[in-house]
Structure 1
């Protein structure tokens, strides 16, 4: 009997974690009147207690129809997110991999000092670097363009830290063996670094996607032209009388993040484990 207690406890925790997601999914099929009736005390200042049924009493597809067929700005902001997030991830891989490999496998002056600076930058929140970034982007005349979001994110230090740990864990014997066979630094990186460091690269991509797909502060700070706003800024602009559309937009916005997470889940778990190891 005792062996079932941990299973039951974990199952209850799993249900608690999944409950908000189920409420979001079921709420996307609720008519606006049912949502207002359930959340009237919270949203409209009415008296009584708020409630949220697990299954809609009168399910409808109208919120999906209204969002997907009558809200062209939603698709414009969706593609804005794609045009921002995809270049960021490509840039982080192109610049982060060589940097992480250099820190992990090469010796050069002030290596530890520079890497410590990388770690310090990784720990700084956006609010600390916002003003310097704004001044630099203003000097480069990049404000109110997608590059104002893309360029600072490309040179983020967090992907370097994740990939560095994987490259550092590669046995030195493998590096020496391929170099004895005549491979140079580039071939060593191509045939040893990339295959063995792939989980770190994938985990960096997954974490990067989850971060930049949902970012709010950066576009609010650097983008004044609303035609360039990403999808993450779509939800705060939805009025109370369109709560059904807001819930559907949340569901659709969650789908890409969920798919990316499921795609890289195993590598992400490995990346978190390796990142937590001490040198």
Structure 2
């Protein structure tokens, strides 16, 4: 009986969490006049509160047509988001995986102190390092380029911390057996470390995608040219007249995140569990 009540409670909580997503899809199917009527109290500072219907009075796909067929700037920003996210994740694979393996398995003087420094850097929010990053990127003449977003993110400490946990849990006996068989450090890393730590690598990539697909602060600070903006900055610049398109843009933006989440959900759980384990 307790399991039944627990299941019902979880279903209720899940429904509450899904309510915003439901109204998002609901609003994307409403006409411009209906959306304006419901959101006017908030968007135009009128008296009253915003309201919504459970179902649109006159469902329409007009907003989808306007966004997907008549809004080229949307696709420019969509491509910018894809470009930034993929290049950042690729860079983190190249730099983060070897770094995590080195921290976990190599005998390096001062390794523990250096890893603690990594953890401290991971805990620092963007606002703390924003000025120093800005001055550095300005000196390198990278401001107002995608490199200003990509390079700092490539050397993020969080994926290293996450993958480190998985590499550290590889039994030493396996690595020792490989050394006895004549395998070198590179061979052990490539043929044993990467396959056995693949769960950590994938979980870091999933978490990274969910973070970098929705970047807001970094593009706002480092990018002045709107043609370079990612999709996450498209929505804040839409007014009440384009509210229907804002709902549609939100739905389209949400789809890649949902696909990545469902594809890597199992690895994501493992990554969250690993990051919560104390050293």
Scaled by the length of structure 1, the TM-score of the pair is 0.97
**Residue in 1 aligned with 2:137?**
137
CA distance in structure 2 between the aligned counterparts of 1:155 and 1:118, rounded to whole angstroms = 11
**Residue in 2 aligned with 1:238?**
238
Deviation at 1:2, TM superposition (A): 4.0
CA distance in structure 2 between the aligned counterparts of 1:170 and 1:127, rounded to whole angstroms = 36
CA distance in structure 2 between the aligned counterparts of 1:48 and 1:138, rounded to whole angstroms = 46
CA distance in structure 2 between the aligned counterparts of 1:110 and 1:226, rounded to whole angstroms = 45
Summarize the Cα distance change of 1:26–1:277 in structure 2 as closer, same or farther, 3 Å threshold.
same
RMSD: 1.1
Are 1:191 and 2:183 an aligned pair? no
**Residue in 2 aligned with 1:85?**
85
**Residue in 1 aligned with 2:229?**
229
**Residue in 1 aligned with 2:40?**
40
Summarize the Cα distance change of 1:3–1:115 in structure 2 as closer, same or farther, 3 Å threshold.
closer
CA distance in structure 1 between the aligned counterparts of 2:49 and 2:129, rounded to whole angstroms = 43
Larger mean Cα displacement after TM superposition, 36-45 or 200-209: 36-45
CA distance in structure 2 between the aligned counterparts of 1:43 and 1:91, rounded to whole angstroms = 40
Deviation at 1:272, TM superposition (A): 1.0
**Residue in 2 aligned with 1:211?**
211
Offset from partner CA, 1:149-184 (integer Å, 9 cap, x none):
000000000000000000000011111111111111
**Residue in 1 aligned with 2:73?**
73
**Residue in 2 aligned with 1:150?**
150
CA distance in structure 2 between the aligned counterparts of 1:271 and 1:144, rounded to whole angstroms = 33
CA distance in structure 2 between the aligned counterparts of 1:207 and 1:195, rounded to whole angstroms = 19
CA distance in structure 2 between the aligned counterparts of 1:89 and 1:21, rounded to whole angstroms = 27
Say which SS state the counterpart of residue 108 (structure 1) adopts: coil
Summarize the Cα distance change of 1:222–1:50 in structure 2 as closer, same or farther, 3 Å threshold.
closer
Are 1:109 and 2:97 an aligned pair? no
Paired positions, count: 279
Larger mean Cα displacement after TM superposition, 221-230 or 43-52: 43-52
Larger mean Cα displacement after TM superposition, 46-55 or 157-166: 46-55
Offset from partner CA, 1:163-208 (integer Å, 9 cap, x none):
0000000011111111111111111111111111111101111111
CA distance in structure 2 between the aligned counterparts of 1:75 and 1:171, rounded to whole angstroms = 47
